[in-house]
Amino acid sequence: MKLIHLRPANPTERQLAMLWGAAAASVVILRPLWIIIAPHLRACTFRRLTGIPCPTCGTTRTALALLDFNIGAAFAVNPLATLAGIFFIVGGAAALIWVLLRGPVPMTSRGWSRRWTRAIVAVILINWFYLILTD
């Protein structure tokens, strides 16, 4: 039984891929601007009110470490944000290549399951516990 089949992409999917690629490219191109702006961003309100880090605490420091290509430091600050940042940049580049090559869209025969939802929630909670423990 074949679980994945390919179909031609529609114009909306191609536009979305172009937007993703443009956003990822702009993050890299505007690196000097992000480095200037980051120190002026507000501290985490959740952390200020509760004294514990929120699930996304350290994302700015993670992004700055990634922009300096310091993946180890980024993982130390927030592993999940690091993976998300890498996925965003690499996925954006792949999306641009996909559009240029007029690639097909992979389709699976199965829909989204509760198992995937539980797994994502578990990963977010594990990351949050890591942030709390390393605070």
* 67 and 31 Cβ atoms separated by less than 8 Å: yes
Give per-residue pLDDT as tens, 37-50: 999 999 899 999 99
Specify the pLDDT at position 14: 93
Is 101:18 a contact under the CB 8 Å cutoff?
Answer: no
Helix (H, G, I), strand (E, B) or coil at 56: coil
Confidence of residue 2 (pLDDT cuts 50, 70, 90): low
Domain locations along the chain: 9-133
Residue-wise pLDDT for 74-131, tens only, equals 999 999 999 999 999 999 999 999 999 988 988 776 777 889 899 999 999 999 999 9
The pLDDT of residue 135: 87
The CA–CA distances, whole Å, from 81 to 46, 61, 69, 123, 129 equal 17, 10, 14, 11, 14
The answer to whether the beta carbons of residues 74 and 82 sit under 8 Å apart is yes
Extract the tokens encoding 69: 């290509």
